[in-house]
Amino acid sequence: MKSNTKLLPRQPVLLLSYADAHLQCFGEKNIDIHLARVPASFSIAAEQIAEDVAELLLPRRFRNLYRADRLRAVGNTRPLRPSTLADAQWTREFITSLNAMASTREEVVQWTC
């Protein structure tokens, strides 16, 4: 039996996090974004209370999103240093060079017994 519900087209959302903790969210005009903060907690027991408080502070229309099956991404932020980008670029180029050497066969050695 077919369901009468249509899947909505997936809308991309871009979140930029700056080193100074500034956030920018980008998306189409039909996307609503709400940024919320969870109060700091310093013990495992307090963590659940902090999450409960954060949920109560959410506007009503966003509360139904705060469920495990609606979680789309997780992460954390730290400043992205230019040296980190340079190291990543060097590593990428090095691996590309190694792959290129592996794909060229100049000599084939065969052993027979």
Say what the pTM is: 0.61
For residue 88, being part of any structural domain is answered with no
For residue 107, being part of any structural domain is answered with no
Could you give the angle at the alpha carbon of 66 between the alpha carbons of 61 and 67, nearest 5°? 130
For residue 71, being part of any structural domain is answered with yes
Tell me the C-alpha to C-alpha distance, in Å, between residue 102 and each of 43, 88, 91, 109: 51, 21, 16, 15
For residue 84, being part of any structural domain is answered with no
For residue 108, being part of any structural domain is answered with no
Per-residue pLDDT of the chain (113 residues; tens, 9 = 90+): 566 678 888 889 999 988 888 899 999 999 999 999 999 999 998 999 999 999 999 999 999 999 999 999 888 888 888 998 899 999 999 998 888 887 666 666 667 66
Q: What's the total number of domains in the chain?
A: 1
For residue 91, being part of any structural domain is answered with no
User: Measured in whole angstroms, how far is the alpha carbon of residue 101 from the centre of its chain?
Assistant: 33
For residue 98, being part of any structural domain is answered with no
Q: Domain of residue 24: give its range.
A: 13-79
CA–CA dist 102, 43 (Å, integer): 51
